[in-house]
C-alpha cells in the first residue's frame, strides 16, 4: 500500500508554494481543483506533494476515511495511493510531481484494478 503524509500548517501564497516545491526538485503546476460530484477511487503513477493555497474541500482514501482540507494543508503521497476527491471540493492547489507532466500516461486517474506501481 502506498503511503501518504498529511499536515495542516500556516497558509501560504501560491508563488511561495510554487517556489518551495520547485526548490525541492518537483515538476510544479498550480490549478483549481473543483468537484461537483465525488470522484471515482483512483491512483496516479507519480509521487506528489500538494499544497492547498485557497478554498476548502475533502478527499477520501481507499478505506473511506475522509480528510478535510483548507489553505495551508499539505499532502505528500507516493505513486499508487488510492483516493478520491469529494463533491463540494473547490480549492486552488500547487502540485509538485516526480514525473514531468508531459510524461504522464493517460488517463491520469488510474482505476484501482490497474495498480502496477511498485509502491503499492
Q: Is residue 119 part of a domain?
A: no
Q: Is the pTM of this model over 0.85?
A: yes
CATH at 100: 2.60.120.10
What range defines the domain where residue 20 resides? 4-114
Of 64, 53, 54, 75, the C-alpha closest to 3 is 75
Q: Is residue 21 part of a domain?
A: yes
**Which residues make Cβ contacts (< 8 Å) with residue 80, sequence separation at least 6?**
2, 43, 44, 45, 115, 117, 119, 120
Per-residue pLDDT of the chain (120 residues; tens, 9 = 90+): 688 999 999 999 999 999 999 999 999 999 999 999 999 999 999 999 999 999 999 999 999 999 999 999 999 999 999 999 999 999 999 999 999 999 999 999 999 985 554 443
Respond yes or no on whether the N-terminal peptide bond of residue 105 is cis (omega within 30° of 0).
Answer: no
Buried/exposed code over 39-72 (b: 16+ C-beta within 10 A; e: otherwise)? eeebbbbbbbbbbbbebebbbbbeeeeebebebe
Q: Is residue 77 part of a domain?
A: yes
Q: Is residue 120 part of a domain?
A: no
Domain count, the chain: 1
Amino acid at each position: 500500500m502506498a503511503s501518504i503524509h498529511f499536515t495542516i500548517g500556516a497558509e501560504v501564497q501560491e508563488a511561495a508554494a510554487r517556489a518551495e516545491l520547485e526548490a525541492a526538485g518537483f515538476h510544479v503546476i498550480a490549478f483549481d481543483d473543483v468537484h461537483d460530484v465525488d470522484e471515482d477511487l483512483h491512483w496516479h503513477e507519480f509521487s506528489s506533494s500538494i499544497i492547498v493555497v485557497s478554498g476548502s474541500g475533502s478527499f477520501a482514501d481507499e478505506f473511506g476515511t475522509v480528510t478535510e482540507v483548507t489553505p495551508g494543508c499539505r499532502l505528500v503521497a507516493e505513486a499508487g495511493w488510492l483516493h478520491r476527491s469529494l463533491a463540494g471540493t473547490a480549492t486552488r492547489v500547487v502540485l509538485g510531481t516526480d514525473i514531468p507532466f508531459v510524461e504522464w500516461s493517460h488517463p491520469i486517474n488510474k482505476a484501482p484494478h490497474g495498480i502496477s506501481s511498485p509502491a503499492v
